[in-house]
């Protein structure tokens, strides 16, 4: 697509091919030479001389063009203001973009500029990014674009009526451009061939000037309307990619608030776009998150959009038993093979559950946070039956969550924890250099009597902080809530519980009790703790319950992040930051005396919740919605209220 007004460009550059060279029906026809048979006949009278044509000179035609062009150009500001008056969102920013008085995306000939064409392509890809298109009112852009096409088509029609020869067509096109822009000279008309026009051409052109002028004048309002409509959408684009948070579990931005975000951030947006004329599309792409996951997820969206376009996949028939294993055969196995093949798995052929199909099932299970045993149980069938259309929705929501993520524009070296995926990845220069499984907070209902709150209080919080210290052989200082609700009852049942599990109870100077667990194999923090100070008192640590890492879904903690292979992480972090080797770290751990190591360069840590990611091999991974944040988004129940004030039951009548 070349853009509206392409016909006008053709008119200006190739009038010869458009108009041809039709003979003048009023031109005299030369007499034929007499034949011998006519020699004796009386000669025919000569044809009458053609009447003189009252044709204006080129200078007069130039004057007839210049006068309305100047007046029309003087009214340009009114046309711009009329278009700007219809902007109903982000008006302050849109108005600021046009302070120079020039079109941003269209050229005067009715064609979109190169930047304008790219901007239109980016707006056409909103759905790909998981951005709701309804607020953009794209039908207004379509209507305005059609108006540009219609206006330039009308101008071309008027030009064709006023110019019957190639020379006249070229002069008419220059005149129309002069009328549109308010800039032109008689010399330009001459250079286009005006000094070669016949009197008849000049007369026809002069007679058609009014229609040409009327048509040319209609192009400018059409251009302004379309240009401003595109600008309005561009401003909304920056709002959606930089400021709006419609899917955040706790800081959800309402539609009414989103509509005010452009003007709220007007100074920042104008500073960003004010000097980017001709390069606004580049700025739009620069508004995408720089986290490597974003580009990878866009590729996944394209892939699953293809599955949907190809007709999605069918749900599986009822299985022949509770679990379908290797060696099984029949219609269910055939359907299973077809289902996996449609999503791109290598499955072989036939109706037997063979080794190739087992490998495909295991791969599917790993990608969907299931136990990868190669057996098809109810949980595996449930994931297989999720449609490609639903997976596409999940991927688009993942893109939205990445735009809202704490790690959306991370540093070169950082740690990313995905609560939904229950993993931690260490990135350096856009590449994953380490990955560990983690255990995150439970999703149970609970009560904190000391804080007087109840609800989903054990969920791991979403935030950013900086890892500033690593504690080797740490002590564990349980919160008063844990002491009261867990350690107290255990001690009541077994007076030796503290001694058996390494707990120490000390008296503070103010008379209060302080309980901690000594370093050692039973310590609930394990042998390493990674601290990034935050108001939630959340950190990463080891755990003696390492068997839990074998589970595919791991939400068991009180909110902190338990880390698989923590010593390997400690070796990496302290080796990079302090230059320590494994032997030095092992010696400290073997001594079982708490040692706090301050990092020279704190490490950014970002904790987010995204239920679809892509690994380094390009595998798309779908994670369980452990806290129900995706479901809350799809059902319109955001923001999520996780806790509420707890009031103990009344004691009236008991005292």
In the block, tokens 């609970």 appear at: 446
Structure tokens at 364: 């599917």
Predicted model pTM: 0.85
Predicted local confidence at residue 77, as pLDDT: 77
Contacts of 540 by beta carbon, 8 Å cutoff, 6+ apart: 417, 424, 438, 529, 530, 532, 560, 561, 562, 563, 566
CA-to-CA distance for 599 and 465, rounded, in angstroms?
14
CB 444 within 8 A of CB 455: no
Predicted local confidence at residue 595, as pLDDT: 96
What's the pLDDT tens digit per position in 138-173?
A: 999 999 999 999 999 998 898 888 888 888 889 988
CB 152 within 8 A of CB 272: no
CA-to-CA distance for 107 and 100, rounded, in angstroms?
15
Instruction: Tell which residue, 25, 167, 641, 581, has the closest CA to residue 175.
Output: 167
CB 400 within 8 A of CB 389: no
Structure tokens at 236: 């909304």
Percentage of residues of the chain with pLDDT beyond 70: 91
CA-to-CA distance for 199 and 313, rounded, in angstroms?
72
In the block, tokens 């992480």 appear at: 569
What's the pLDDT tens digit per position in 549-588?
A: 999 999 999 999 999 999 999 999 999 999 999 999 999 9
What's the pLDDT tens digit per position in 404-433?
A: 999 999 999 999 999 999 999 999 999 999
Q: pLDDT category, 237, cuts 50, 70, 90?
A: very high
CB 139 within 8 A of CB 229: no
Compute CA 204 distance to the chain's CA centroid, rounded to the nearest angstrom. 55
Q: Which residues of 585-600 are buried (b: 16+ CB within 10 A; e: fewer)?
A: beebbeeeebeebebe
- Residues 78-82 have a mean pLDDT of 85
Predicted local confidence at residue 48, as pLDDT: 64
Instruction: Tell which residue, 385, 394, 366, 240, has the closest CA to residue 305.
Output: 394
**80 in helix, strand or coil?**
helix
**30 in helix, strand or coil?**
coil
- Residue 256 DSSP one-character state: H
The CA–CA distances, whole Å, from 335 to 325, 349, 622 equal 14, 11, 22
The CA–CA distances, whole Å, from 87 to 137, 149, 636 equal 11, 22, 28
The CA–CA distances, whole Å, from 394 to 297, 351, 460 equal 11, 32, 21
Structure tokens at 445: 């209902």
CB 251 within 8 A of CB 202: no
- Residues 383-399 have a mean pLDDT of 98
């Amino acid at each position: 697509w070349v853009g509206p007004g392409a016909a006008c460009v053709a008119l200006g550059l190739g009038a010869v091919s458009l108009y041809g060279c039709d003979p003048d029906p009023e031109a005299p026809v030369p007499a034929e030479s007499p034949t011998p048979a006519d020699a004796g006949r009386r000669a025919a009278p000569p044809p009458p001389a053609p009447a003189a044509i009252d044709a204006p000179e080129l200078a007069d035609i130039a004057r007839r063009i210049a006068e309305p062009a100047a007046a029309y150009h003087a009214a340009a500001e009114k046309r711009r203001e009329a278009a700007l008056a219809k902007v109903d969102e982000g008006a302050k920013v849109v108005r600021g973009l046009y302070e120079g008085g020039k079109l941003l995306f269209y050229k005067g000939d009715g064609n979109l500029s190169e930047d304008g064409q790219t901007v239109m392509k980016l707006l056409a890809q909103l759905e790909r990014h998981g951005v709701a298109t309804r607020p953009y009112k794209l039908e207004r852009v379509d209507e305005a674009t059609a108006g540009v096409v219609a206006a330039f088509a009308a101008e071309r029609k008027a030009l064709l009526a006023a110019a019957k020869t190639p020379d006249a067509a070229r002069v008419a096109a220059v005149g129309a451009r002069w009328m549109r822009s308010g800039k032109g000279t008689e010399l330009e008309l001459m250079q286009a061939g005006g000094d070669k026009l016949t009197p008849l051409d000049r007369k026809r052109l002069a007679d058609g000037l009014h229609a040409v002028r009327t048509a040319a004048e209609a192009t400018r309002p059409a251009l302004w309307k379309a240009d401003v409509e595109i600008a309005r959408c561009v401003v909304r684009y920056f709002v959606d990619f930089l400021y709006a948070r419609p899917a955040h579990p706790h800081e959800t931005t309402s539609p009414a608030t989103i509509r005010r975000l452009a003007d709220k951030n007007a100074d920042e947006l104008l500073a960003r776009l004010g000097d980017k004329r001709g390069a606004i599309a580049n700025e739009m792409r620069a508004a995408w998150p720089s986290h490597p996951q974003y580009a990878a997820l866009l590729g996944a969206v394209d892939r699953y959009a293809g599955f949907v376009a190809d007709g999605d996949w069918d749900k599986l028939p009822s299985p022949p038993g509770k679990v379908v294993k290797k060696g099984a055969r029949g219609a269910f196995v055939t359907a299973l093979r077809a289902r996996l093949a449609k999503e791109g798995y290598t499955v072989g052929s036939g109706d037997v559950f063979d080794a190739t199909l087992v490998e495909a099932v295991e791969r599917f299970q790993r990608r969907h946070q299931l136990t990868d045993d190669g057996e098809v149980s109810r949980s595996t069938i449930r994931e297989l039956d999720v449609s490609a259309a639903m997976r596409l929705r999940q991927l688009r929501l993942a893109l939205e969550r990445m735009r809202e993520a704490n790690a959306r524009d991370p540093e070169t070296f950082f740690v990313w924890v995905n609560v939904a995926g229950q993993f931690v990845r260490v990135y350096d220069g856009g590449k994953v250099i380490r990955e560990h499984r983690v255990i995150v907070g439970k999703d149970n209902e609970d009560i904190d009597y000391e804080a007087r709150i109840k609800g989903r209080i054990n969920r791991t919080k979403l935030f950013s902080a900086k890892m500033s210290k690593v504690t080797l052989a740490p002590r564990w200082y349980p919160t008063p809530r844990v002491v009261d609700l867990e350690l107290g009852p255990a001690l009541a049942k077994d007076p030796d519980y503290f001694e058996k599990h390494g707990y120490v109870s000390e008296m503070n100077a103010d008379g209060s009790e302080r309980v901690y667990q000594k370093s050692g194999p039973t310590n609930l923090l394990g042998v390493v703790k990674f601290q990034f100070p935050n108001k939630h008192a959340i950190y990463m640590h080891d755990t003696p319950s390492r068997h839990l890492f074998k589970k595919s879904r791991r939400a068991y903690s009180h909110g902190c992040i338990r880390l698989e292979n923590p010593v390997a992480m400690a070796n990496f972090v302290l080796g990079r930051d302090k230059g320590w080797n494994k032997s030095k770290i092992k010696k400290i751990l073997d001594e079982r005396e708490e040692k706090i190591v301050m990092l020279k360069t704190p490490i950014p840590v970002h904790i987010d919740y995204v239920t679809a990611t892509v690994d380094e091999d390009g595998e798309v991974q779908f994670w369980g919605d452990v806290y129900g944040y995706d479901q809350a988004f799809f059902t319109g129940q955001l923001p999520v209220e996780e806790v509420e004030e707890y009031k103990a039951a009344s004691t009236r009548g008991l005292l």
